[in-house]
Amino acid sequence: MILTFERLDKVALLTLATVTALNYQFSNYNLTFLMPVELYTHFPAIIHQELFPPTRSIDKLIPGIEHSASTLRLPNSGQIFCFVETSERYYNDRVPSIAATWLRRCDNGRFFSKTPLPSANMTYSTVYKNLEDSFFDLFRKSIFGFYYSYMHISNSFDWYLKADDDTYFAMDHLREYLNTLDPSKPLYLGYVIKSGLKNGYNSGGAGYILSNAAVKIFVEKLYHDEYGCPYDWAEDRGMGRCLARVGIYPTDTRDDKGFNRFMPYRPSEQAAVEAGQFSSQKFVSLHRFPQDTMLLLDELLHPELRKNDTNPVVVNYDFFRY
């Protein structure tokens, strides 16, 4: 049986074979070639390059970005800047639950989206206006999110937190933990996934945090370097690879008992994971939380705040369904 390939598939396969041969041919020399795990990264990049142009041009990505009026009241300095990546399909469920709970406990917390959110009282910026609302563009969303946060919102926060729209952060626990660390050092915090990279990378689902020093290095040395910081359809692995190029590796964020502060899955799924991978009592993040569960957890952690809360953004608008 004779297999036929589209021209793009032939180019991808030829590239894969060529770089593999170069790695083999020059394996005894101190030269820089793509490692096998990186070949896996570049292969889908070639396949999808026509649908998802790899441009990182700031001039092309910034035009038309809007900010809700409520973001103008947020401080431009503090301990934690938080951005939550979301899309229009989640405006009526995931977004309200995060807005009603942990996001407002960041010094500056906002949603990054492609289109404006339904309520002007929400803190949002349409940072992804000129990017594809697609799984295959998550990498560019995240790296541009960090770039834009630092360069065009403020470079005066100690820590920059990136989260998905189904992740809950226990901000009191997070602040307690961050108070033990130095943001002037290039730190990369989260739940470490060991496979794929020599030193691992932090799970995107559990959320990850870069210190001010780490974001500065990323912006100045990595964002525009498309070889040292190549496209990866797996956003979190791609960020880990980029930071590894300049010697920034995941920090061990486990507590003194060896339990994880950042969790890429909900507690009910822990029985299916490896022994010793349970959540710390001082957990920082929990992933895959539906709206009702997130609200309930937040009420359990902050009963006094929920009872006395008079914030109109949370209580008095039907959009939030609270």
Residue 52 lies in a domain: no
Angle between helices 235-244 and 36-47 (to 10 degrees): 130
Alpha carbons 308 and 317: distance in angstroms, whole number: 17
- Do residues 307 and 288 make contact, with C-beta atoms less than 8 angstroms apart? no
- Do residues 67 and 148 make contact, with C-beta atoms less than 8 angstroms apart? no
Q: Mean pLDDT, the chain, as a whole number? A: 82
Task: Judge if 74 and 12 occupy the same domain.
Answer: no
Which carries the bigger pLDDT value, residue 125 or residue 296?
Answer: 125
pLDDT for 88 beyond 80: yes
SS3 64: coil
CATH code of the domain in which 175 resides: 3.90.550.50
Domain range enclosing 30: 7-47
Pair of tokens at residue 263 = 């969790």
pLDDT for 2 beyond 80: no
pLDDT for 27 beyond 60: no
> Comparing 35-44, 138-147, 173-182, 238-247, which segment has the lowest mean pLDDT?
35-44
pLDDT for 21 equals: 53
pLDDT for 250 equals: 98
> Comparing 84-88, 181-185, 275-279, which segment has the lowest mean pLDDT?
275-279
pLDDT for 159 beyond 50: yes
Which carries the bigger pLDDT value, residue 16 or residue 199?
Answer: 199
pLDDT for 18 equals: 59
Task: Judge if 25 and 68 occupy the same domain.
Answer: no
Task: Judge if 92 and 131 occupy the same domain.
Answer: yes
Selection from 154, 100, 146 nearest residue 127 by Cα = 146
Task: Judge if 155 and 40 occupy the same domain.
Answer: no
Selection from 190, 246, 254 nearest residue 222 by Cα = 246
Strands 262-263 and 285-287: parallel
Give the CA count within 13 Å in the CB-facing half-sphere of 261.
24
Alpha carbons 270 and 131: distance in angstroms, whole number: 35
Read off the pTM: 0.80
Task: Judge if 128 and 26 occupy the same domain.
Answer: no
pLDDT band at 306 (very low <50, low <70, confident <90, very high): low
Task: Judge if 157 and 21 occupy the same domain.
Answer: no
